[in-house]
Structures are given as structure tokens and as C-alpha cells.
């Protein structure tokens, strides 16, 4: 028997990276398409591209089409000790990114970024309600050695940072909202060049404004480049303290409702209502996802700890810079834990207050029902007394009615007379008049009572059938 062997060659449309979180990129793009993460119309796109060289000369470019972005490919080389910032915004925090899928892929190609950048885009999509309130994309950390034996590495960090934001010129209780910024950083230890890509919720994001202001000042820009991770602190310092104001605003709302609830007496008119119950439940629902948000932020800080240690171990950081960043990250972890405890307390407090309001409403309903029961008992007792009185009157009437009727009948001089001589009762020949008048009148009265009883019974039966 001769065995024939045949070489079978299979062609894959894309190379699969078995060490990637997203080995099949097509799956990611399918999800992005279903969520409408990108614009379909190129007239709405805008990508802000900023480069800063070693001497802190800043070049800013805005791309509004894929053609412009592709034409920039030759100029996209990275300068040693430089910074690159790419900002992609949304129309608002509930709209797609102002970039097409093709432009986003081109940005990934120009920056040689990995799958972690593409995974960030899934958190920015078109929606009509606040979905994924408790979800923050897990922070990603990639530390690749560029060549075997050489102490040169490429660092990649990606995460979603959620923060509280107060809408301007809005003093309503719901003026606070939760927004998010996507952060991607790539640092080359050989050239010491950092590439940053930010996915901002709005074009006029405060962090983006501050970043541009720092780049325009050479002294501040040089301080910012002293440590590759310092820009993370700029983002955190801009928005992270807002959580204390956010929790304080929710606590003020809860305290107002709580003080009204605990001073309520059951005999007094009720001062709490279902609207207050709905408000306190709203506070509870706002605090519920914060535990997941703060824990995700702690994971992000731990990822930055790993990056800080990796940069120290490869010799890209001096001990003093490493130590300052390590302390800074520890402080952020402490603050995140404090906010987490405050959110847990506020959530428990809101739950207790909501239960107290529900108890007050229930007790008030029970008290009202008890008052109605007492009134019905009093009314029933009065009715029983009246029935007893009517019964006595009826019995007395039954005793005296025959004799009264006979006295009345015999006392009619027109029909009955007493003979003076024989002392006998004489019935008048006109007695038939009494019979003719009394009998029909009695018959009409009985007939009217019978018809009225039938109608009442028929109406009661029809009402019972309609309710059934």
C-alpha cells in the first residue's frame, strides 16, 4: 500500500495573535458596528493630533477625513524624547466617536498600537439610556521586550476612567452626571517617546484644555516629561476630586428627606409621600454602581504601579522619580478606598431611609384603616340600637294596630251607626264605597313595592356580573 501525502495550505485573512485578549479582530469590529461606536458620515469626523519634540516645539493638526490622515503617514515618525497626543471626541457622552472605523484603524496603524486601543472604543457608542453604569473597561498592561538581550521595551497602558461631572448653569438635583475618558499610552524605552490617545466625552473637555495649556508652556511641558506616567496624574487631578462633591450633593438630598421622615408622627398629617420615596431610591441607584467604579479605579492604579516598577527595573527612571510616583499612586488608592466607603455608607443610608418612608406610608394607611374601622364599628352599634328601637316600635304597633284599625273603622259614622232603641250596630248600605276605595289602593301599593323590589334586584345582579 502506497500512502500519498498532500500538503494542505490554509490561508487566514488576518494573523491571529494567541497572546492577545482579542485574537480575532473581526469580532471586535462586529460589536463596534452593532453598538454604533463610529460615525458613518465622514463630514462629522475630527481628530486632533499634537506633537511635541525634544525642545518642546508644539505642532497641532486637525484631520477631518481619512485622506488627510493617510497623507500624514510620512510625517508620523516619532521624535526621541517627544510627546504625541491624539484626541478623539464625541458629540456628547451618549453619541458615537467623531471618527469613522477606517480612520480609527488608520490611527492604530500609524501609532503601531495593539488590540487594547481598539477595545477601548466599545465603551463609546450611541445610546439612549445610561447603560453600563457600573462597567469600566478592565485596565490593560503590556510590557514587551523589543529585542532579545537588549534592555529596550515597549510599554502599553489602556483603561477607562470614570468621573463625576457637574453640568454648568444647572442647580437641579440631577445636575451631576457620570462621564468617562478612554486613555491609551505607548512608551518606547529606547527613544523615550510617549504616544497618547484620548477618547473624550466632549470636545471642550476640561482635561484636554489643561493639557493644551501645559504643552504651550515649555517649562511646564518639561516637568510633564520628567516621568512617562505623569499625564495620568493630570487626568486624575482634574476629575477625581469631583467624587467628593458628587457624594456630598447626594448626601444633602438624602439628609433633607431623612430629617422629614424621622420627625414624622403617625397622628399628624403625613409629610412624606411617594415622590420622596422615589427620590431616595434614585439616590440609592446612583450610589449602587459607584462601588464597581471605585474598585475599577483601584485596579487602574495597581496597573500604573506595575508600569512604574517596570520602568524603574529597566533603568528608565531614577529612584527619586519612581518613589514620588509610587507615593502618589498609593495616595490615590487611599482616596479611592475612602470614596468607596462613603458610597457604601450613603447607599445603606438611602436604603434605610427608603424603608422608613415605606413603613411610614404603611403605618399611616394602617392608622387610617383603623380609624375607619372604629367609625364603622360606631356606626354599626348605632344601627343596632336603631334596629332594636324599630323592633320594639314594630312589636308595639303589631299589638295595637288591630284594635286601632277596628276603632277607626267602627268610628266612621258614615258607615256604622248604633240604633238608639235596639242598641244594635247598623251597617250603612254605602259601605261598599269603603271597600271599593280601600282594596284597589292596597293592591296598587303592594304592586308598586313588588315592581320596585324586582328592579333593585335586577340592578344589583347586573352590577355584580360587570364586576366579575
CA-CA distance, 65 to 67, in Å (whole number)? 5
Model pLDDT, residue 9: 44
- pLDDT tier at 42, thresholds 50, 70, 90: confident
Mean pLDDT throughout 419-445? 76
Cβ 321 vs Cβ 175: under 8 Å: no
Model pLDDT, residue 463: 66
Mean pLDDT throughout 325-352? 94
Residue 10 has pLDDT above 50, yes or no: no
**Could you read off the pLDDT of 197-222 as tens digits, one per residue?**
999 998 888 898 899 888 888 888 88
**Could you read off the pLDDT of 94-116 as tens digits, one per residue?**
899 999 999 999 999 888 888 88
The CATH-assigned architecture of domain 20-225 is: 2-Layer Sandwich (3.30)
386 Cβ contact list (under 8 Å, min separation 6): none
Could you write out the DSSP letters of every residue in 331-347? HHHHHHHHHHHHHHHHH
All structural domains of the chain with their residue ranges: 20-225, 375-461
Alpha helix stretches (DSSP H) within 411-430: none
Maximal C-alpha separation, the chain: 160
**Could you read off the pLDDT of 291-322 as tens digits, one per residue?**
999 999 999 999 999 999 999 998 889 999 99
- pLDDT tier at 410, thresholds 50, 70, 90: low
- pLDDT tier at 266, thresholds 50, 70, 90: low
Which range among 34-48, 129-143, 332-346, 389-403 has the greatest average pLDDT?
Answer: 332-346
Could you write out the DSSP letters of every residue in 348-394? HHHHHHHHHHHHHHHHHHHHHHHHHHHHHHHHHHHHHHHHHHHHHHH
Report the chain's mean pLDDT, rounded to a whole number. Answer: 84
Mean pLDDT throughout 48-69? 88
Please give the helix or strand (H or E) that residue 51 lies within, else none. strand 47-52
Residue 240 has pLDDT above 70, yes or no: yes
Amino acid at each position: 500500500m502506497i500512502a500519498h501525502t498532500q500538503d494542505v495550505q490554509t490561508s487566514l485573512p488576518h494573523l491571529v495573535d494567541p497572546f492577545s485578549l482579542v485574537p480575532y479582530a473581526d469580532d471586535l469590529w462586529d460589536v463596534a458596528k452593532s453598538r454604533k461606536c463610529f460615525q458613518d458620515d465622514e463630514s462629522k469626523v475630527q481628530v486632533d493630533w499634537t506633537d511635541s519634540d525634544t525642545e518642546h516645539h508644539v505642532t497641532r493638526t486637525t484631520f477631518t477625513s481619512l485622506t488627510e490622515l493617510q497623507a500624514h503617514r510620512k510625517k508620523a515618525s516619532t521624535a526621541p524624547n517627544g510627546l504625541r497626543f491624539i484626541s478623539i471626541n464625541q458629540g456628547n457622552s451618549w453619541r458615537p466617536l467623531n471618527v469613522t472605523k477606517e480612520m480609527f484603524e488608520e490611527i492604530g496603524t500609524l501609532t503601531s498600537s495593539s488590540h487594547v486601543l481598539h477595545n477601548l472604543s466599545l465603551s463609546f457608542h450611541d445610546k439612549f439610556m445610561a447603560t453600563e453604569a457600573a462597567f469600566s473597561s478592565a485596565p490593560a498592561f503590556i510590557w514587551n521586550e523589543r529585542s532579545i538581550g537588549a534592555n529596550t521595551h515597549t510599554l502599553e497602558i489602556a483603561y477607562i476612567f470614570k468621573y463625576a461631572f457637574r453640568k454648568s448653569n444647572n442647580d437641579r438635583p440631577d445636575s451631576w452626571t457620570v462621564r468617562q475618558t478612554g486613555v491609551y499610552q505607548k512608551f518606547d524605552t529606547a527613544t523615550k517617546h510617549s504616544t497618547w490617545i484620548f477618547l473624550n466625552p466632549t470636545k471642550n473637555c476640561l482635561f484636554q484644555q489643561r493639557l493644551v495649556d501645559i504643552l504651550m508652556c515649555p517649562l511646564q511641558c518639561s516637568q510633564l516629561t520628567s516621568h512617562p506616567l505623569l499625564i495620568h496624574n493630570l487626568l486624575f487631578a482634574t476629575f477625581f476630586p469631583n467624587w467628593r462633591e458628587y457624594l456630598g450633593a447626594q448626601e444633602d438630598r438624602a439628609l433633607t428627606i431623612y430629617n422629614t421622615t424621622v420627625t414624622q408622627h403617625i397622628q399628624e398629617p403625613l409629610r412624606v409621600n411617594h415622590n420622596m420615596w422615589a427620590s431616595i431610591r434614585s439616590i440609592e441607584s446612583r450610589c449602587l454602581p459607584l462601588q464597581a467604579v471605585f474598585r475599577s479605579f483601584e485596579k487602574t492604579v495597581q496597573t500604573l504601579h506595575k508600569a512604574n516598577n517596570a520602568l524603574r527595573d529597566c533603568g528608565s527612571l531614577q529612584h527619586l522619580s519612581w518613589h514620588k510616583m509610587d507615593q502618589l499612586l498609593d495616595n490615590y488608592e487611599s482616596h479611592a478606598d475612602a470614596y468607596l466607603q462613603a458610597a457604601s455608607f450613603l447607599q445603606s443610608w438611602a436604603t434605610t431611609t427608603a424603608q422608613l418612608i415605606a413603613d411610614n406610608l404603611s403605618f399611616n394607611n394602617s392608622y387610617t384603616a383603623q380609624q375607619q374601622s372604629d367609625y364603622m364599628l360606631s356606626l354599626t352599634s348605632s344601627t343596632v340600637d336603631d334596629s332594636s328601637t324599630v323592633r320594639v316600635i314594630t312589636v308595639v304597633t303589631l299589638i295595637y294596630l288591630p284594635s286601632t284599625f277596628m276603632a277607626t273603622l267602627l268610628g266612621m259614622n258614615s258607615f256604622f251607626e248604633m240604633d238608639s232603641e235596639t242598641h244594635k250596630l247598623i251597617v250603612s248600605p254605602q259601605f261598599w264605597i269603603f271597600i271599593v276605595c280601600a282594596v284597589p289602593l292596597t293592591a296598587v301599593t303592594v304592586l308598586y313595592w313588588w315592581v320596585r323590589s324586582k328592579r333593585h334586584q335586577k340592578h344589583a345582579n347586573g352590577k355584580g356580573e360587570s364586576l366579575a
